[in-house]
Amino acid sequence: MKTTEEVKGQLANKFLTGLKNRDWELMRSALANDVTWTLPGTSLLSGPAVGADAVIKRAGQLRDFGVMVQFNHILYGLDSVALSLHNTASRGDLILDEQVAIVCDITDNKISRITTHLSDVEGINEFFIEGVI
């Protein structure tokens, strides 16, 4: 069954609102149980997060690192949505300033795969390191 733009928008908003407000149950309601989230680079958060619990843990870690998420746009695809974001954070002299595209593939009206694209992969490699949170 084809997912409508209304449902895609609802899923995207649940994911974003869950992330911004640390409302993990709201986020979970948008995710398939076997969802995967990939993030480029070699940072503490890079690689795949497999399963809803792992995705929510990663979202929590992003917030624990102090990342502020500015939402720009939802872009609609045939079986997906892309979230255009601007993420910022700072720690001492270290500044994180990223343009981000998060592509959410949708299957059976749930987010089944999340793929993050970043403007500065080296920036996250330096920012998300062990021993900070």
Model confidence, pTM:
0.94
Q: Is residue 46 part of a domain?
A: yes
Q: How confident is the model at residue 29 (pLDDT cuts 50, 70, 90)?
A: very high
- Output the 3-class SS for 22-85: CCHHHHHHHEEEEEEEEECCCCCCCEEEECHHHHHHHHHHHHHCCCEEEEEEEEECCCEEEEEE
Opening angle at CA 77, ends 13 and 39, nearest 5: 65
Q: What confidence tens digit (pLDDT) does each residue in 93-132 have?
A: 999 999 999 999 999 999 999 999 999 999 999 999 988 7
Percent of the chain with pLDDT over 90: 95
Number of domains in the chain: 1
Range of the domain at 19: 5-127
pLDDT tier at 2, thresholds 50, 70, 90: confident
**The predicted structure's pLDDT at residue 1:** 59
The CATH number that applies at residue 58 is: 3.10.450.50
21 has a pLDDT exceeding 90: yes
